[in-house]
Chains A and B, each alone.
Chain A
Amino acid sequence: MSGHSVEEIKRETRVYLMVFVGLAILTVVTVAVSKLHLTTGPAILVALLIASVKGFLVAGYFMHLLSEKKLIYSVLALTVVFLLVLMLLPLGSAYGGIGG
Chain B
Amino acid sequence: MEIPYNVEARPDTGLYNAKLGIWLFLASEIMLFGALFSSLVILRTGADSWPHGWEILNVNIATFNTFVLIASSVTVVLAWANLRLGDLAKGRLYLGLTILCGLIFMVVKAFEYGSKFQHHLYPSSSTFLAIYFTLTGLHGLHVLGGLFVFAYLIGPGAKMWATEPARYTNRIEVVGLYWHFVDLVWIFLFPILYLL
The stretch of B38-46, B111-119, B122-130, B144-152 that contacts the partner chain: B38-46
Number of interface residues of B (CB under 8 A): 51
Number of A-B contacts (CB under 8 A): 131
Q: Is the CB of B73 within 8 A of A58?
A: yes
Q: Among the listed A23, A47, A63, which residue makes an inter-chain contact with B177, where contact means beta carbons less than 8 Å apart?
A: A63
User: A71 touching B195 by the CB < 8 A rule?
Assistant: no
> With A51-B188, A89-B38 in contact, do A23 and B70 touch (Cβ < 8 Å)?
yes
Residue of A with least CB distance to B85: A9
Contact of A79 among B20, B27, B63, B183 (CB under 8 A): B27
Q: Does B141 contact A (CB under 8 A)?
A: no
Task: For chain A, give the interface size range.
Answer: 35 or more
User: Are A87 and B20 closer than 8 Å at their CB atoms?
Assistant: no
Q: A-side binding surface: helix, strand, loop or mixed? A: helix
Which A residues are in CB contact (< 8 Å) with B54? 34
Contact A50 B27 (CB under 8 A): no
A86:B31 contact, CB within 8 angstroms: yes
Chain A residues packing against B (C-beta within 8 Å)? 1-2, 4, 6, 9, 12-13, 16-17, 19-20, 23-24, 27, 30-31, 34, 40, 43-44, 47-48, 50-51, 54-55, 58-59, 62-63, 69-72, 75-76, 78-79, 82-83, 86-87, 89-91, 93-95
